[in-house]
């Protein structure tokens, strides 16, 4: 098969500051802002002041964690930087555990949110009754495969789609925010009453505040996406921190305004009794415009899903380059897209859609995100002392790192100590099951003669070729030096 010339056949750095901010903005604003307000208010004991304070505090925590995390992508400006960083700082076993979890967690999350999106789209066709499972699952499968095809077309198509979908959901959220501001400025008594004595309600205890934080942080999740795609960012050393600060500041402002708008129209009890807060809000303000909320929610979930497929496939790509996944996953198509990694995620998500209890499956691996972040911050501290002369275009302050580790421990240990159950045992068993593959195929480099034949067959079938070695060629806009030491040998 004819290959492109060296220097061109690899992931291309085409994402600048604007599109990087759009991608970060669109993955954070998913279903969370439409679902989490109810949970935050519930665990705040219906205390309006505490609820809004927690939303603001979650923004600060997310900003600190995201800026700490950004150093990974600026020090190693390559796609899948989290994986590569863990391998370099804490060793191949930890990095393989990270990739093992993401190999199944990302498709599971994609499948669950595809079903949620399908439910929102189909629900208007079944007024007054529950949506049948079969059409919902068929539509979810169609959504997953549309995402796969879109991502296979390359990064430019993905960024333009993200820009369009972000405009749609921003229009809906701005409408909700501005309407709330107008209602408060007009000064109607029923709109102002809940804010005049915001802290007069019952004050939640420490365990409830922890639960409220978990609910709020869910709405801010996704801020690590730029580190996953650092190999496709222009000037990542400068753009990653700038995009993080810009996007999270805007998200925090919008989230606060949207929650204020909800509370200006609905009482805390009305919010708690609602299955879809935004829909209930619109029913009170302009009942004939409920369809606009459906479009906004659908656009938010779909664009967030698209970012997840886009970024997760890059982690599989770099893990394959490092020899911890089959070589075929590090091949690129004519659009410089790791199409086999995208296809693998799409197929796995399609299979996971078939069972119905997806929420439980996602819960098994959900809390590992903050555990992994704690490990990354530990690795960051280790590398600071182990390789002090390593070029770091952006260097986060140590108090931010220690604060992120403390929050990670808090969020991981609190649910285990507060309500221990079998879920966490299942998670640990799932983690250790990866060792059954790691030691024979990675540590002892056991090779099967059929692997090469399968790889060649898939290359010809899918018209893909291996990309250039990222350590031999780094775009001039990156900052990682050539021929980095301590790179693990690839499997032949």
Asked if residue 225 belongs to a domain, the reply is yes
For the segment 128-139, what is each residue's pLDDT rounded down to a tens digit?
Answer: 666 788 888 899
Mean pLDDT of 11-36: 83
For the segment 371-428, what is each residue's pLDDT rounded down to a tens digit?
Answer: 888 889 999 999 999 888 888 999 999 999 999 999 888 877 876 777 666 666 666 7
Residue owning tokens 């959504």: 143
For the segment 38-69, what is each residue's pLDDT rounded down to a tens digit?
Answer: 888 888 888 888 888 999 999 999 999 999 99
Rounded Cα distance, 438 and 445, in Å: 9
For the segment 62-114, what is each residue's pLDDT rounded down to a tens digit?
Answer: 999 999 999 998 998 888 888 989 999 999 998 998 898 888 878 877 887 78
Transcribe 261-303 into DSSP letters: HHHHHS-HHHHHT-SSHHHHHHHHH-GGGHHHHHHHHHHHHHH
Asked if residue 209 belongs to a domain, the reply is yes
The H-assigned helical ranges of 206-357 are 206-220, 225-228, 236-265, 268-272, 277-285, 290-321, 339-353
Transcribe 116-183 into DSSP letters: HHHHHHHGGGSTTSPPPHHHHHHHHHHHHHHHHHHHHT-HHHHHHHHHHHHHHHHHHHHHHHHHHHHH
How confident is the model at residue 144, as a pLDDT? 92
Asked if residue 438 belongs to a domain, the reply is yes
Mean pLDDT of 8-37: 80
Query: Which residues on adjacent β-strands are paired with residue 233?
Result: 15
Residue owning tokens 């229009």: 171
Buried-exposed string 34-72: b where 16+ CB fall within 10 A, e elsewhere: bbbbbbbbbbbbbbbbbbbbbbebbbebbbbbbbbbbbb
How confident is the model at residue 373, as a pLDDT? 87
| Cβ-Cβ contacts under 8 Å for 486 (sequence gap 6 or more) | 88
How confident is the model at residue 346, as a pLDDT? 92
Asked if residue 106 belongs to a domain, the reply is no
How confident is the model at residue 475, as a pLDDT? 42
How confident is the model at residue 189, as a pLDDT? 65
Name the residue range of residue 434's domain: 17-101+151-287+362-466
How confident is the model at residue 194, as a pLDDT? 67
Residue 486: pLDDT band by 50, 70, 90 thresholds? Answer: very low
Examine the pLDDT at 309 and tell me if it is beyond 60.
yes
1-15, 94-108, 175-189, 240-254: lowest mean pLDDT where? 1-15
How confident is the model at residue 193, as a pLDDT? 66
Residue 145: pLDDT band by 50, 70, 90 thresholds? Answer: very high
> Is the separation of the CB atoms in 331 and 459 below 8 Å?
yes
Two tokens at 461?
Answer: 């079938």
| Number of compact structural domains in the chain | 1
Asked if residue 326 belongs to a domain, the reply is no
Two tokens at 236?
Answer: 């990542």
> Is the separation of the CB atoms in 340 and 458 below 8 Å?
yes
How confident is the model at residue 7, as a pLDDT? 45
For the segment 237-280, what is each residue's pLDDT rounded down to a tens digit?
Answer: 899 999 999 999 999 999 999 988 888 888 888 888 776 677 77
How confident is the model at residue 478, as a pLDDT? 46
Asked if residue 143 belongs to a domain, the reply is no
| Cβ-Cβ contacts under 8 Å for 31 (sequence gap 6 or more) | 113, 116, 297, 300, 301, 304
Helix/strand/coil percent split, the chain, to 5: 75, 0, 25
Residue 480: pLDDT band by 50, 70, 90 thresholds? Answer: very low
Residue 2's CB: how many other CB atoms inside 10 A? 4
Buried-exposed string 385-412: b where 16+ CB fall within 10 A, e elsewhere: eeeeeeebbbebeeebbebbbebbeebb
Q: Which helix (H) or strand (E) holds 414?
A: helix 398-418
Rounded Cα distance, 28 and 299, in Å: 13
For the segment 216-236, what is each residue's pLDDT rounded down to a tens digit?
Answer: 887 888 888 899 888 889 899
DSSP label of 330: G
Of residues 366 and 388, more confidence is placed in: 388
- Residue of 293, 264, 300, 260 lying closest to 278 (CA atoms): 293
- The mean pLDDT of the chain is 80
Rounded Cα distance, 358 and 111, in Å: 8
Rounded Cα distance, 161 and 341, in Å: 20
Asked if residue 182 belongs to a domain, the reply is yes
Mean pLDDT of 198-202: 69
Asked if residue 441 belongs to a domain, the reply is yes
């Amino acid at each position: 098969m004819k290959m492109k010339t060296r220097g061109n056949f690899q992931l291309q750095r085409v994402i600048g500051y604007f599109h990087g901010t759009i991608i970060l903005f669109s993955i954070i604003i998913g279903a969370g802002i439409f679902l989490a307000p109810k949970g935050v208010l519930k665990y705040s004991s219906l205390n309006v002041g505490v609820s809004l304070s927690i939303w603001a505090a979650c923004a600060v925590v997310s900003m600190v964690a995201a800026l700490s995390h950004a150093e990974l992508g600026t020090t190693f400006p390559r796609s899948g930087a989290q994986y590569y960083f863990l391998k370099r700082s804490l060793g191949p076993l930890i990095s393989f555990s990270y990739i093992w979890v993401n190999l199944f967690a990302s498709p599971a999350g994609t499948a669950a949110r595809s079903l949620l999106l399908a439910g929102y789209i189909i629900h208007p066709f079944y007024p007054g009754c529950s949506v049948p499972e079969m059409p919902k699952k068929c539509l979810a499968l169609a959504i997953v495969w549309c995402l796969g095809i879109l991502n296979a077309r390359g990064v430019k198509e993905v960024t333009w789609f993200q820009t369009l979908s972000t405009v749609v959901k921003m229009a809906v959220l701005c409408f909700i925010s501005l309407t709330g501001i107008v209602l408060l400025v007009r000064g109607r008594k029923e709109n102002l009453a809940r804010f005049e004595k915001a802290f007069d309600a019952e004050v939640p205890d420490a365990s409830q505040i922890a639960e409220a934080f978990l609910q709020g942080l869910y709405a801010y999740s996704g801020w690590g996406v730029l580190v996953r795609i650092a190999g496709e960012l222009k000037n990542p050393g400068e753009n990653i921190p700038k995009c993080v600060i810009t996007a999270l500041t805007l998200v925090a402002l919008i989230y606060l305004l949207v929650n204020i708008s909800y509370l200006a129209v609905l009482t805390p009890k009305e919010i708690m009794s609602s299955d879809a807060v935004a829909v209930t809000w619109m029913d009170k303000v302009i009942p004939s415009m409920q369809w606009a909320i459906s479009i906004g929610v659908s656009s938010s979930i779909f664009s967030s899903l698209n970012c997840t497929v886009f970024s997760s496939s890059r982690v599989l790509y770099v893990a394959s380059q490092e020899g911890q996944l089959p070589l075929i996953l590090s091949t690129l198509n004519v659009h410089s897209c790791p199409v086999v990694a995208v296809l693998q995620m799409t197929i796995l998500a399609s299979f996971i859609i078939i069972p119905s209890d997806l929420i439980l499956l996602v819960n098994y691996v959900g809390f590992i995100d903050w555990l992994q972040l704690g490990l990354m911050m530990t690795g960051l501290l280790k590398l600071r002392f182990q390789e002090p002369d390593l070029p770091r275009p952006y260097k986060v302050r140590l108090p931010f790192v220690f604060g992120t580790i403390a929050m990670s421990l808090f969020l991981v240990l609190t649910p285990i100590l507060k309500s221990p159950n079998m879920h966490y045992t299942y998670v640990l068993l799932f983690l250790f099951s990866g060792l059954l593959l790691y030691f024979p195929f990675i540590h002892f480099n056991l090779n099967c003669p059929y692997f090469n034949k399968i790889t060649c067959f898939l290359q010809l079938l899918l018209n893909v070729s291996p990309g250039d070695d990222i350590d031999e060629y780094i775009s001039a806009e990156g900052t990682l030096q050539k021929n980095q030491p301590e790179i693990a040998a690839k499997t032949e």
